[in-house]
Amino acid sequence: MSYGFDTLKVQAGYRPEQHNYAVSVPIYQTAAFALGDSYRADRLFSFMESDPIYTRLSNPTADVLEQRLCALHGAGGGIALASGMAAVSYTLLNAAGKGGRILTTARLYGGTVDCFGHLFPDLGVEIDLVENPDDPGEFQRKLTAETRAIFVESLTNPFAAIPNLQALADIAHEHGILLIVDNTLATPYLCNPFEHGADVVVYSATKGLSGHGNVIAGVVLESGKFDYGNGHYPHFAQPLWFLRDGDDQEQSILRVFPDIPFTGRLRAIHLNYLGAALSPFDAYLVLLGLETLSERVQKQVANTRAVLAYLENNRHVAWVRYPYAQGSPYRELADRYFPKGAGAVLSFGFKGTEEQKRQFLAATKIFGYQANIGDARSLIINPAQTTHVELTPAQRELVGLSLDTIRLSLGLENASDLIGDLEQAFQTVFGG
Ligand SMILES: *Cc1c(COP(=O)(O)O)cnc(C)c1O
């Protein structure tokens, strides 16, 4: 059975006959599950059997979401979490273990960069940043014996920069370490990082994956192909009492979860003890959004192209950044990794005073002024003063975020109305 993406996104991971023939995925709104007999309980509590026990650890509604996303990516294992930040932070902690380092860039979601400074040092995880993420050689040069993963976003916000995924995967694998990719802006419809060498893929499902802007959720997926027994991940091989077998012998994560060590460990440790479980109702909401992923993203990419053409011919626009904008250095990488389009986030430089920029933001009627992206509704924001406000001037310079930047996230409205809205906003500020 090898169905196409669109079939999988509405059907994979769910068999109605296993759920009272319910056509929609049921919401299993329960905290706990009956254990049956005490021998079954033994197997459940040692992870030898994977049926649900308690919704913090797993739940059948979230399980359908996990299975469906695995099918869409050809992934070996997956885990749904209560937010994208839980997905990012659990993943990096799981990879780094004790005393490990993560090699990454400042070109990341603001919350991710923030947690490097405010959370990870307390937990003994160090972060190394490359200065020019467009040069894979710099990742090569900055690797240390303690580096456990290279971490990048496949499409960045607000500038839609694209890393050379395969080159980074080759560097990581030469050193026996993981390539972890945050694929939030891309969605699996536009790019499947596992096809380009990624070992672990994370999402904020709050954004395009669910697409309706009604839920906060996150996802971690693993390829199922990486060898965690290669010496760089001793924390996966350590015998653990809570994983003991029927004879009270301690077992390791690698032994109990041989096919899915990464998400197995993340579930048994990070989700279990830190507890950001996705609620069954929210898992259902993500499933609902996922059903229309391809159709939504196609429309959003088309709207983005139309708005790009409008902005590139506007005298109040200093520059436009999008992989297919004029002069973009990412066109070739976009052709290679994003053949169906380079997403629905673009940025432009507003030619005018700070006050005029604020008037412009206040003048749009269709574009909503809010911090998220990947919504069904089109959004506008001034990232340097809002979503990326925690960046110091030096960090802002490093990621190329100037104060005149305006970011758009294109939704599902009519392209002509979106362009009309921007046009009337420019007219409000500068006159007809
Ligand atoms: C929004 C976002 C996150 C964080 O996700 P939440 O669901 O808001 O916790 C992480 N990475 C990227 C790229 C994002 O856009």
pLDDT surpassing 90 at residue 134: yes
Please report which helix (H) or strand (E) contains residue 77, including its range. strand 77-81
Q: pTM for the full model?
A: 0.96
Report CA(85)–ligand 1 centroid distance (Å).
Answer: 6
Over range 308-321, report the average pLDDT. 97
pLDDT tens-digit readout, 8-29: 999 999 999 999 999 999 999 9
Q: What is the pLDDT of residue 395?
A: 81
Instruction: Write b or e for each residue in 285-307: b if 16 or more Cβ atoms lie within 10 A of its Cβ, otherwise e.
Output: bbbbbbebbbebbebbbebbbbb
Task: For ligand 1, pick from 206, 209, 274, 279 the residue to mutate: most ligand atoms within 8 Å of CB.
Answer: 206
In the chain, how many H helices and how many E strands?
18, 12
Q: What does the domain layout of the chain look like in residue ranges?
A: 7-281, 293-431
**1 pLDDT band (50/70/90 cuts)?**
low
Other C-beta atoms lying within 10 Å of the C-beta of residue 123: 11
**Beta-sheet strand order (sheet of 200-204):** 77-81, 218-222, 200-204, 178-182, 147-153, 101-105, 126-130
Q: What is the pLDDT of residue 244?
A: 87
pLDDT surpassing 80 at residue 158: yes
Over range 271-281, report the average pLDDT. 97
Is the CATH number of domain 7-281 3.40.640.10?
Answer: yes
pLDDT tens-digit readout, 316-352: 999 999 999 999 999 999 999 999 999 999 999 999 9
Return the percentage of the chain with pLDDT > 90, whole number: 88
Return the percentage of the chain with pLDDT > 70, whole number: 100
pLDDT surpassing 70 at residue 238: yes
Domains 7-281 and 293-431 share a fold: no
Q: What is the pLDDT of residue 394?
A: 85
Q: 244 or 73: which carries more pLDDT confidence?
A: 73
Quick check: 179 and 168 in contact, CB under 8 A? yes
Which ligand 1 atom is at minimum distance from the Cα of 206? 7
Protein residue with its CA nearest to atom 6 in ligand 1: 84
The closest of 343, 338, 334 to 407, measured between CA atoms, is 343
Query: Which residue is associated with the tokens 């206040």?
Result: 362
Protein residue with its CA nearest to atom 8 in ligand 1: 84
Q: What is the pLDDT of residue 98?
A: 86
Which ligand 1 atom is at minimum distance from the Cα of 218? 7
Any idea which fold 293-431 has?
Aspartate Aminotransferase, domain 1 (3.90.1150)
| Residues 6 or more apart whose Cβ sits within 8 Å of residue 35 | 41, 44, 53
Q: Is the CB of 204 under 6 A from ligand 1?
A: yes
Quick check: 323 and 162 in contact, CB under 8 A? yes
Tokens matching residue 8: 């999988």
pLDDT tens-digit readout, 31-79: 999 999 999 998 898 888 889 999 999 999 999 999 999 999 999 999 9
